Structure 1
Amino acid sequence: MGIIVQEQTGLFHLQSSGMSYIIQIVDGFPVHVYWGDRLKHRESMTDLLLHTSATAGLDRLPQEYPQYGSGDFRNPAYQVELEDGTRITELKYDGYRIIKGKPSLTGLPAVYTENEDEADTLELELKDDFSGLKVVLLYTVFADRNVIARSARLSNTGAKNLRLLRALSASVDFSGKSDLEFMYLSGAWAREGNITRKPILQGETRIDSKRGMSSHQLNPFAALVTRGTTESYGEVFGFSLVYSGGFEAGAEIDSFGSTRFSIGVNSFDFSWLLSPGESFQTPEAVMVFSGQGLGDMSRTYHRLYRTRLCRGKYRDEERPILVNNWEATYFDFNADKLVSIAKEGAELGIELFVLDDGWFGKRDSDNSSLGDWYEDRRKLPDGLADVANRINRLGLKFGLWFEPEMISPDSELYREHPDWCLHVPGRRRSEARWQLVLDYTRKEVRDFIFDSLAAIFSSVPVSYVKWDMNRCLTEIGSAALPPERQSETAHRYVLGLYELLERITTEFPHILFESCSSGGGRFDPGMLYYMPQVWTSDNTDAVERLKIQYGTSLVYPVSAIGAHVSAVPNHQVGRITPLDFRGDVAMSGNFGYELDLTKFTDEEKETVKRQIAVYKQIRGLVQKGDLYRLKNPFEDNESAWMFVSEDQEDAIVYYFQVMAVPNAPWRALRLDGLNPELEYEVQSGNSGQKSIHGGDRLMKLGLPLLYRQKDYESGWFRLRAIRSGKA
């Protein structure tokens, strides 16, 4: 396993334990030969190309990093403008290098290895002699994961300037495959994570974000799946971009029935000036193959992102159960009110109190004070440290909300530095939520934010930070960049954000950072590299969260999915659901509460105590176990999923019914991921009753469900293998 090279034929065979990816150099062009189930390496593998050559025309050649302008009329992976205005380049193979392990990417987040035996990296060097453009294609193959991590580094080795007009991270040509379907995550604010799936027809099927962020609307992920693919059947080719800015991903079927998929930084409104000697590194595309359906693809992403993308102290630690005061108080609070919620939380077993928006500047609504990161002594006369210490004495840790990328026109910071926001001279500055976006391309802006936050973290016992971002980028220009580099602003903003996040998470490693962007507007792998969990959606309605959390889990591990119980009627949709139902949905993620705990009845307090006690027993399994999706809320009135330990001896199953069904039929829930040879003790979380069933029976016949004629009904079951002594 690893990388096998046949220099005489120009063939490169990348192998993992269950996957092969094959490239061959044909007439100087790197050509895609195969990606799929692992093949035994043979000397005759060049026959897979069916004697393809460039003489037949580049339009028919399945390329690895195609160009436009010399015979290939499909979407290119890159485009470069020379000083004379021409845009023709032709990259040809110029050598290769194999590296043990996986090198990091300069200035960009990426998956990593902890020892060099985990992966091998192939660098394919391409060059256009006329322009001096050099491109290094990076392929990392993991030994025990069906994963290829791809990116490209473009360099100017010539004597004249080059301008990149397009620089994608990966392109794959699937020869003769026109029967694939395109799958991605779509939505909007409060409706994130919708699974969209449609056939690909001749032409182009494309998703993108032009918002300067990965967005609520479309996530930087797409998959090509064979028709008929289910959770456990069919071929899946997943593409996930480790990037937090505007992106594009698309599949194009040509007239010969081949499909080209490409993904990377959005080419719209993008260019990058490469002076002689300079390089541009594209973000990383993480490509996952599954021959056993969507569930296997998801679990591959989950394990990789949970352990080789997330970093720091909290990567492997169980996450604390929190209460957030936002929906309890909004901007109307004082120190005593906050402590009263924390006191109630301590009695219920909660471990972390989070003070949300409204604690700084003169922030009585969302129309002022962003950028003025100092405590509001009107609300907190003895300061943040006093509130935090009072809460710590109750046995809870203390967390704090920030929105560090934004600035309010009504703020001391804006009055002092009106040019520190993204803007274009002479044009209006579009406000959203009465705020503008700070220009993170500027070092002095990033330094100011670092110093402001560091001053608080150094004087207040902060254990958790909710890092929010509540609007997209507009008037994307920088007063600090020359005219010829203005179209670099959006990408430089993301690079500046990453630089600040690297600095601040390194300086304060004890803080658990949670990313938020009005909920899931920036739920992407780039942010997970710095912050191991994300506030999944501002919509806390349990029924809507069934879809949001199910869809998000297509790519992202449950350890990254923030999920809270909120008050009813729900603040986003007005729905009233039982506390048990809300709790079961939220316990299927990083669990917490977002309401006024002091308003609970005695009966509700007992329910919450029970929920917290249960979650403390199962959170290791939920956050680190393998997820199996059993019933799809996008297709049915029911939802179900389960979490299984690595040794298959421990599992928990959650089942949800949205609306009652008259004269309902007998039902059984077929489980997955168990060991068919083991016997399991099954305990109902609702009734406490226990029974014993074989793993094969539970997966083939299913677990009987007791029907209750009730809307918003949920239940859970704990499974323990008998032979392990856990039962």
Structure 2
Amino acid sequence: MVELLDNQRTFHIQVKHTSLVLHVLPTGHVTVIYWGKRLESKSLAYVIQDIGRASYISDTDGIKDFKLEQLPQAMPTHGNSDLRTPALVLEYADGSRITNLRYKDFKVYSGKERLPGMPTITSGEEVETVEILLEDYLQQVTVKLIFSAFYEYNAITQSVVVTNLSKSNVTIEKVVSSNIDFLDAAYDVCYLSGAWGRETHRQVRPLSQGAFLLDSKRGASGHGQNPFLALADKQANENSGSIYSMNMVYSGNFQAIAEVDMHQNTRMQMGINPFDFAWQLVPQESFYTPETVLIYSDQGYNQLSAIYHRFYRECLMKSSHAEKVRPVLINNWEATYFDFDKRKLLSLAKEAADCGIELFVLDDGWFGKRSDTTTSLGDWQPNHQKLGGSLSGLIEEIGQLGLQFGLWVEPEMVSPDSELYRAHPDWIIQVAGRDPQLARHQYVLDLANPAVQNYLITELSTLLEKENIAYIKWDMNRNITDSGSSYLAVAQQKELSHRYILGLYHVLEILTEQFPEVLFESCAGGGGRYDPGMLYYMPQTWTSDDTDAIERLPIQSGTSLIYPPISMGCHVSAVPNHQVGRITSMDTRGIVAMQGNLGYELDLTQLSTEEKLLVKEQVVQYKEIREIVQLGQLIRLTEIENQNQYAWLYRSKDATAFVVSFVQVLARANTVPKRLKLAGLDAKAYYQVGERICTGSELMSIGLKLDKPIEDYAGQRWLVKKIEK
């Protein structure tokens, strides 16, 4: 787990297949001398000693040829002879900004402590933690680097604690959660990017000298870029190559950097975005960063995904639903939008029940005077007139059809036309003297304010205590503008973005603890806040507002790089699709939606008898395979560069059953389909595919026959079962 070498100057952090090695120099600087495939060694200090020195700022610390700028540091600070991007920038009461950290002490212990007020990855399995304490003696500031090794999960987490031991305030201008320097630059950078409706597309590009930067300044982790960054070998693919990755357990503004210096070294770091951020650290106070997850794979992206998926299911998601199969649901949004009444909802629910669907979700429009986007956010009282009576009565009637009931909410927002806003106009994020900007006819509530937090806890607790609700879809459809808080002091205004997230986490902590039986799904205009921080509280996320099956292929493939399939909400919707107008077969829409948690988002009452039978068959088929899909191991079978074909496989926990899916986007004239080679099977075992029996070696080396597409957007699915012969 944590082995001490070189007279307790080297910390060898070990998990099952990975080593992370830190070393304290005689100067007191802490260096990262290795991260990668697990090592067996008793001395590693020579790695630093062997680094050759190039020219420029050298002979510092009174040591000949000492050049901090060429050393792989764990916590580089502003104001010293390392002129690369710092991991820590502090401003002191005298206006100075130099921080000179040197090693002071360490502590190794079993287990892992909870980060105050933030999601923290924990596990009942074997975990060991090392804390490395650094100190700036002059300024009386300490920085603690906390690494936890989850041995069986092949995962390491890191967080940082900055403590002010002086008698004056200290301002944190920047502090990252992880900084790792590599003595090489021959990497590709891999990340997930996109926009609303096309989130988490996997991107791979070569690194070059200079800084590659990912970030969000939107108040949420964002549709544009996910808090994930990886460095990969140039030849890395789904099944081979080394990949070094960071994923941040945080739901707000973040920044990730891969910086190549003039000596072909790479600095990789991730943390809270320093943009519009500062934190006043009063005497004797500590600041805790969110934690990052450090995952290394030496067998390509599929192994990377397998590590993340298991780790997040078993150690991150605290919900009791984390390892429970999820219900097939119907959401009324694209079926009705705001135009519904009790009769229409019950008609939709009856059709859903007839198809074997298990959960009915009532989306936007059920509360206050809400019949469009202009009113009532914040007033979480049911509209009895629109619902044709009480919400309890509607839930009871839907329950009599054999369906559980779910509800949409958007608690972080408020409409100017609402009782809440009229009572508390000071509760929104705004700058005094300026007219706050409306976006989607709504403002953002100031969750840095404890009164706002308590209001949301009270309103939602009352709703969940009164009504028989099995599922909550928690939406956030607006990013933060007009950054200012009536609650915070003048000197704290740059703390708003982080305090907002801490306030959100507090609300979620209370509600999810109070109502553990409720399945919470997060949503931020789709995948605009699909991050480990939200998964800690809400084990399911609405992957994208784009429900088109073909658009969902790269979205769900990219999401699956990090996040487990059981966390992905995936729905079959109507054609022509409401976002892009594409017409896709019901069969292909079902195949794609079965890549995660299956749901339907269309008006079942308008389907033909034949289409309803197809839906019914899909639901039956999915229930047969959903444990494999939701709790098994995902293996992607095609490379991400092949944008015209997508194939993936799920392997059951006991490796006896496999679900294989394939979709071709566009048909091509005069072509002969190639075979689809599988992975993850026992080469010597026998498997049944339809009427045919094959060995694992056949299926992995020869593969399955693909049908010749006679139309665009064609899909196929197979169930492969291990048999005795």
Q: Partner residue of 1:164?
A: 172
Q: Partner residue of 1:391?
A: 398
Letter in 1 for 2:175: A
Specify every segment of 5 or more residues in structure 2 that has no aligned partner in the other structure, as ranges: 54-60
1:153 aligns with 2:161: yes
Q: Partner residue of 1:653?
A: 660
Partner of residue 67 from structure 1, selected from 67, 72, 77: 77
RMSD in angstroms over aligned alpha carbons? Answer: 1.2
2:206 and 2:7 map into 1 onto residues whose CA distance is 40
Partner of residue 111 from structure 2, selected from 83, 88, 101: 101
Secondary structure in 1 matching 2:494: helix
Q: Partner residue of 2:596?
A: 589
Secondary structure in 2 matching 1:669: coil
CA offset at residue 45 of structure 1? 2.0
Deviations 1:314-337 (A, max 9, x none): 111100000000011111111121
> Within 5 Å, which residues of 2 pair with 1:390-539?
390-539=397-546
Q: Partner residue of 1:20?
A: 19
CA offset at residue 696 of structure 1? 1.3
1:218 and 1:387 map into 2 onto residues whose CA distance is 40
Deviations 1:281-332 (A, max 9, x none): 0001101000111111111111111111112221111000000000111111
Secondary structure in 2 matching 1:521: coil
Secondary structure in 1 matching 2:503: helix
CA offset at residue 48 of structure 1? 2.2
CA offset at residue 338 of structure 1? 0.7
2:24 and 2:595 map into 1 onto residues whose CA distance is 47
Q: Partner residue of 1:247?
A: 254
1:708 and 1:423 map into 2 onto residues whose CA distance is 55
Contact 1:464 1:513 (C-alpha < 8 Å) held by counterparts: yes
1:41 aligns with 2:41: yes
> Within 5 Å, which residues of 2 pair with 1:162-561?
162-175=170-183, 177-561=184-568
1:372 and 1:111 map into 2 onto residues whose CA distance is 34
Deviations 1:550-581 (A, max 9, x none): 11111111011100000111000011111111
2:385 and 2:555 map into 1 onto residues whose CA distance is 38
Contact 2:123 2:314 (C-alpha < 8 Å) held by counterparts: no
CA offset at residue 676 of structure 1? 1.2
1:710 aligns with 2:723: no
Contact 1:547 1:634 (C-alpha < 8 Å) held by counterparts: no
1:444 and 1:470 map into 2 onto residues whose CA distance is 22
Contact 2:349 2:398 (C-alpha < 8 Å) held by counterparts: yes
CA offset at residue 634 of structure 1? 5.3
Letter in 2 for 1:89: T
Q: Partner residue of 1:701?
A: 702
Deviations 1:508-561 (A, max 9, x none): 111000000000000000000000010000000000011110111111110111
Q: Partner residue of 2:721?
A: 720
After TM superposition, the score normalised by the length of structure 2 is: 0.97
CA offset at residue 7 of structure 1? 5.7
Instruction: Please say which of residues 698-707 and 414-423 is displaced more in the overlay.
Output: 698-707
Contact 2:172 2:281 (C-alpha < 8 Å) held by counterparts: yes
Contact 1:18 1:145 (C-alpha < 8 Å) held by counterparts: no
Deviations 1:347-398 (A, max 9, x none): 1100000000000010010111100110112202311111001001111000
Contact 2:243 2:304 (C-alpha < 8 Å) held by counterparts: yes
Instruction: Please say which of residues 386-395 and 639-648 is displaced more in the overlay.
Output: 639-648
1:579 and 1:143 map into 2 onto residues whose CA distance is 44
After TM superposition, the score normalised by the length of structure 1 is: 0.97
CA offset at residue 632 of structure 1? 4.3
Q: Partner residue of 1:30?
A: 30
1:423 and 1:708 map into 2 onto residues whose CA distance is 55
Contact 2:102 2:136 (C-alpha < 8 Å) held by counterparts: yes
1:86 aligns with 2:90: no
Secondary structure in 2 matching 1:661: coil
2:434 and 2:302 map into 1 onto residues whose CA distance is 49
Same amino acid, percent of matched pairs: 45
CA offset at residue 132 of structure 1? 1.1
CA offset at residue 620 of structure 1? 0.5
1:675 and 1:506 map into 2 onto residues whose CA distance is 42
Contact 2:655 2:681 (C-alpha < 8 Å) held by counterparts: yes
CA offset at residue 469 of structure 1? 0.1
1:571 aligns with 2:581: no
Instruction: Please say which of residues 494-503 and 474-483 is displaced more in the overlay.
Output: 474-483
Letter in 1 for 2:87: A
1:227 and 1:369 map into 2 onto residues whose CA distance is 52
Q: Partner residue of 1:677?
A: 684
Letter in 1 for 2:559: T
1:604 and 1:167 map into 2 onto residues whose CA distance is 55
Alignment: residue pair count: 713
1:99 and 1:51 map into 2 onto residues whose CA distance is 32
Deviations 1:64-108 (A, max 9, x none): 011121101001111100001100111111110012122211111
2:598 and 2:137 map into 1 onto residues whose CA distance is 57
2:29 and 2:602 map into 1 onto residues whose CA distance is 60
2:8 and 2:452 map into 1 onto residues whose CA distance is 53
1:438 and 1:242 map into 2 onto residues whose CA distance is 23
CA offset at residue 51 of structure 1? 4.4
Q: Partner residue of 1:692?
A: 693
Distance 1:57 1:120, change over 3 A: same
Partner of residue 630 from structure 2, selected from 623, 631, 636: 623
Contact 2:302 2:636 (C-alpha < 8 Å) held by counterparts: yes
2:559 and 2:68 map into 1 onto residues whose CA distance is 38
Contact 1:515 1:533 (C-alpha < 8 Å) held by counterparts: yes
1:8 aligns with 2:7: yes
CA offset at residue 647 of structure 1? 2.8
Partner of residue 58 from structure 1, selected from 68, 71, 86: 68
Secondary structure in 1 matching 2:346: helix
Q: Partner residue of 1:687?
A: none
1:482 and 1:191 map into 2 onto residues whose CA distance is 39
Specify every segment of 5 or more residues in structure 1 that has no aligned partner in the other structure, as ranges: 684-689
Secondary structure in 1 matching 2:447: coil
1:625 and 1:91 map into 2 onto residues whose CA distance is 45
Contact 2:658 2:720 (C-alpha < 8 Å) held by counterparts: yes
Secondary structure in 2 matching 1:96: strand
Letter in 1 for 2:177: S
Secondary structure in 2 matching 1:703: coil
Contact 1:632 1:640 (C-alpha < 8 Å) held by counterparts: no
2:325 and 2:311 map into 1 onto residues whose CA distance is 17
Instruction: Please say which of residues 350-359 and 17-26 is displaced more in the overlay.
Output: 17-26
Deviations 1:610-643 (A, max 9, x none): 1000100100000011111112465331110000
CA offset at residue 9 of structure 1? 5.4
CA offset at residue 255 of structure 1? 1.1
Q: Partner residue of 2:614?
A: 607
Secondary structure in 2 matching 1:499: helix
Distance 1:540 1:633, change over 3 A: farther
2:44 and 2:422 map into 1 onto residues whose CA distance is 67
Instruction: Please say which of residues 295-304 and 631-640 is displaced more in the overlay.
Output: 631-640
CA offset at residue 145 of structure 1? 2.5
